[in-house]
């Protein structure tokens, strides 16, 4: 069972240049192969995204622009991380409830998923999530 301590910030390789910086996402940068990429944008500052856990999938979130908070919950501990650096991503393993909130104006969240979309992999009800952690 995943715990909050398993959610880690990972610095991406970057090239600093006076013309603009470049961050690199290669398979050795994150600890899983990703099969799906999507991004959140135009999120209102009072909106909450996420609100689920995964049975199998892992996610890696990167704040490409702006900032947002990620509320992590393993069923016994909660932690809030503010993501605001486009060269640092957050690894969220399966079995962790997550909510994204407090989006700044113009924030863009890039998500890399370890598998293609599968509704059966989602736990969308918090009480069901807690039950799954106590099995």
Residue carrying the six token digits 């113009």: 106
Could you confirm whether 52 is annotated as catalytic? yes
Q: Please identify which of the residues 3, 36, 52, 85 carries the catalytic annotation.
A: 52
Q: How far apart are CA 80 and CA 93, in angstroms?
A: 16
pLDDT tens for 17-73 read 999 999 999 888 899 999 999 999 999 999 999 999 999 999 999 999 999 999 999
pTM: 0.95
Report domain 4-133's class. mainly beta
Tell me the residue ranges of DSSP E strands in 1-135.
8-11, 14-15, 22-23, 36-41, 49-54, 59-65, 68-73, 78-83, 88-92, 97-101, 108-113, 122-123
pLDDT tens, residue by residue, 89-101: 999 999 999 999 9
Q: Mean pLDDT over all residues of the chain?
A: 96
- What pLDDT was estimated at residue 134? 82
Q: What is the pLDDT of residue 135?
A: 63
Span 98-109, average pLDDT? 98
């Amino acid at each position: 069972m995943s715990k909050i301590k398993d959610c880690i910030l990972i610095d991406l390789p970057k090239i600093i240049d006076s013309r603009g910086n470049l961050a690199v996402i290669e398979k050795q940068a994150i600890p899983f192969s990703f099969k799906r990429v999507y991004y959140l944008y135009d999120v209102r500052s009072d909106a909450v995204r996420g609100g689920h856990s995964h049975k199998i999938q892992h996610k890696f979130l990167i704040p490409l622009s702006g900032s947002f908070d990620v509320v992590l919950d393993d069923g016994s501990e909660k932690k809030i991380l503010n993501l605001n650096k486009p060269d640092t991503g957050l690894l969220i393993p399966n079995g962790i409830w997550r909510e994204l909130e407090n989006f700044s104006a113009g924030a863009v969240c890039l998500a890399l998923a370890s598998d293609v979309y599968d509704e059966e992999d989602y736990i969308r009800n918090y009480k069901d999530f807690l039950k799954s952690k106590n099995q």
